[in-house]
Amino acid sequence: MLAFRSEEHVKRWCESKGLDRGALLTPEQQWYLADAWYRERLAPDWRRWTPAEAEAIFAGLGLVGDFWRLRKPGRKPG
Amino acid sequence: MTEPDQAVRVHIYERFVEDGRPPTVAETAAALGLDETEAASAYRRLDEAHVIVLAPGTTDIWMAAPLSAAPTPFRVETERGWFYGNCIWDGLGTISMLGLSGRVDTACPDCREPLVFTVRDRELEPVDAVVHYAVPAARWWDDIGFS
């Protein structure tokens, strides 16, 4: 997770590394994600987020879709 | 996570924050009254559970997210001292974990221009930047160093 000056810089860097472009966050989205994720990390009863909890945090910031999915897709009935 | 492993985890974070580096197995064993084999096993279990990351082939702590034991391009100043974060997410997470305010100094990987993320009273000050996630969430732990 790297910070760039702009989307154009991301595009150029990805091309130079032979990488596909991934997901882009605004600085505000990144701050709120970091705050939600780490605020309680020093608490004596801290535990890892479950995949469902993590996905809910992502979704609360508008981060949805396959890129942000942690749970395997459920089997469809029938 | 079992209660003894949670105690080891809490100790690791407390020492990392206070000393600016993570404790060794021997230091944790001495502090918690464990023998070193027990402490090393706890470190390995925490690594396997993705709570900490050990340097490959060792029981040396590489990451106790959001903190990095190795220098990174994400230097973080907080109310409780300065640290290295593993990425911009962890740099900002370090500020959140340790107080209300701080700053992350990094640079654009493309042009090397400095970028500063400043948080004051849990609010991010405006910064002209974007954050790029190269790897989908489900694959972050395939290679956490790269992610």
Residue A53 reports pLDDT greater than 70: yes
Q: Which of B92, B103, B135 to mutate to test the interface with A (most CBs of A within 10 A)?
A: B92
Note the pLDDT of residue B50. Answer: 92
Picking from A5, A23, A47, the nearest residue to B113 by CB comes out as A5
Choose among B24, B32, B27, B30: nearest CA to B6.
B32
* Band (A78; pLDDT cuts 50, 70, 90): very low
Note the pLDDT of residue B139. Answer: 84
Note the pLDDT of residue B144. Answer: 63
> Do the Cβ atoms of A5 and B113 come closer than 8 Å?
yes
DSSP E strands, chain B: 53-54, 61-64, 67-68, 75-78, 81-85, 102-107, 114-120, 123-124, 130-133
Note the pLDDT of residue B57. Answer: 95
C-beta atoms of A24 and B132 within 8 A:
yes
> Do the Cβ atoms of A44 and B6 come closer than 8 Å?
yes
Q: Does B100 touch chain A (CB under 8 A)?
A: no
pLDDT above 90: percentage of residues in chain A: 88
| Contact residues, chain A, for B9 at CB < 8 Å | 46
Assigned domain for A4 exists: no
Picking from A5, A29, A33, the nearest residue to B115 by CB comes out as A5
Alpha carbon of A77: minimum distance to chain B alpha carbons (Å): 24
Assigned domain for A64 exists: yes
Assigned domain for A3 exists: no
pTM of the model: 0.93
| Contact residues, chain B, for A2 at CB < 8 Å | 87-88, 106, 109, 131-132, 134
Note the pLDDT of residue A74. Answer: 60
The domain locations on chain B are 3-64, 75-139
Q: How many domains does chain A have?
A: 1
Segments forming the whole domain that contains residue A54: 25-73
Task: Give the Cβ contact number of residue A3 at 10 Å.
Answer: 29
Domain B3-64 -> CATH class: mainly alpha
DSSP one-letter code for B72: -
Q: Which of A4, A13, A19 to mutate to test the interface with B (most CBs of B within 10 A)?
A: A4
**Under-70 pLDDT residues of chain B:** 143-147
pLDDT above 70: percentage of residues in chain A: 92
* Band (A72; pLDDT cuts 50, 70, 90): confident
Assigned domain for A2 exists: no
Average pLDDT over residues A19-42: 96
Note the pLDDT of residue A17. Answer: 94
Residue A77 reports pLDDT greater than 80: no
